Chains A and B, each alone.
Chain A
């Protein structure tokens, strides 16, 4: 079965698995993981340079064909997200930005309203904007209007590995929003990534589950396969769940005509 490729802002991608680059023990694990999963979109963050320490340049570990998606982590409001996005663009590494506005340090939930505001400003400036939100239909509609390139709803708390706790709300976005839906945050195992894809998500983004696994490159590959598998299942026209049992084998007795009644 042939699939249509993932298209974001007019750019075509074969892989539907996006990888985050935080928390890796070392840069070799990171580059091995990118190679193993074949991600074509990879997220990075921006920070003040530590003037006392020599830090390796992360960009050198990301292959040139991979699209860099800079997140606005650290931003507490729309204004700070806009500032970070503009700085990232000034690096010459592209204009793709993942809006991430968080001002709650306990649950680390994204601020949907500020995210919409930042998206409006940055999309108008020509950025390709991928906003990260708590799954909410009205926010997603506002993002479409604001010029977002995708909508990225969270599956569960960031870094929690809890999977699709927001499943029903993500399904609403998949059904109603005419933009690629990229499930981001909380996906802790390949089975959960497959589940998101079976629901009809267009892609998933994973960081913690890969970076903190004992062997990141191996799980990165497992995630890529799960995403592909889940996508195929979705395209197959996955049968609906049934409340009652339905036999898979012929409904006759083995030697007799009827299954004996109790």
Chain B
């Protein structure tokens, strides 16, 4: 979340608020608010057949663009691998 903060002494100061989210169990810092579509495309080297679960709830791919991430969110990015 990017926000402007007015300093107490009358000097305007821009403060860039970093956002922390947990992706696949690891803490990641985002410098700006991003929707799920942007996250999938920047973090997944192979975005096809990626399935997302945000705070325990599945987000279908047609809702990624409208889903904005919040500070503290936990995101799981999963996909298919070989298995018997």
- Report which A residues bind B (CB closer than 8 A): 20-24, 30, 43-49, 51, 53-60, 70-71, 73, 86-88, 90-93, 158-159, 185, 205, 207-208, 211
Given contacts A51-B24, A86-B58, contact A22 B50 (CB under 8 A): no
Which residues of chain B come closer than 8 Å to A45, judged between CB atoms? 80-84
Let me know if B84 and A30 touch, CB within 8 A: no
Given contacts A90-B51, A90-B60, contact A51 B23 (CB under 8 A): yes
How distant is B62 from chain A, measured CB to nearest CB, in Å? 10
A47 and B53 alpha carbons, distance in the complex (Å)? 12
Q: Does B13 contact A (CB under 8 A)?
A: no
Given contacts A48-B25, A90-B60, contact A24 B82 (CB under 8 A): yes
A73 and B78 alpha carbons, distance in the complex (Å)? 13
- Among A47, A53, A60, A93, the one with the most B-chain Cβ atoms within 10 Å of its Cβ is A47
8 Å CB interface, B4-60 against A: 23-26, 43-46, 48-51, 53, 58, 60
- Among B48, B78, B83, the one with the most A-chain Cβ atoms within 10 Å of its Cβ is B83
Let me know if B82 and A49 touch, CB within 8 A: no
Let me know if B82 and A91 touch, CB within 8 A: no
Let me know if A49 and B50 touch, CB within 8 A: yes
Q: Does B77 contact A (CB under 8 A)?
A: yes
Let me know if A208 and B24 touch, CB within 8 A: no
6 A-B pairs with C-beta separation under 8 A: A49-B43, A55-B45, A57-B80, A71-B83, A90-B51, A90-B60
How distant is B71 from chain A, measured CB to nearest CB, in Å? 20
Let me know if B49 and A93 touch, CB within 8 A: yes
Let me know if B45 and A54 touch, CB within 8 A: yes
Which residues of chain A come closer than 8 Å to B80, judged between CB atoms? 44-46, 57-59, 70, 88, 91, 93
Let me know if B46 and A57 touch, CB within 8 A: yes
Let me know if B79 and A49 touch, CB within 8 A: yes
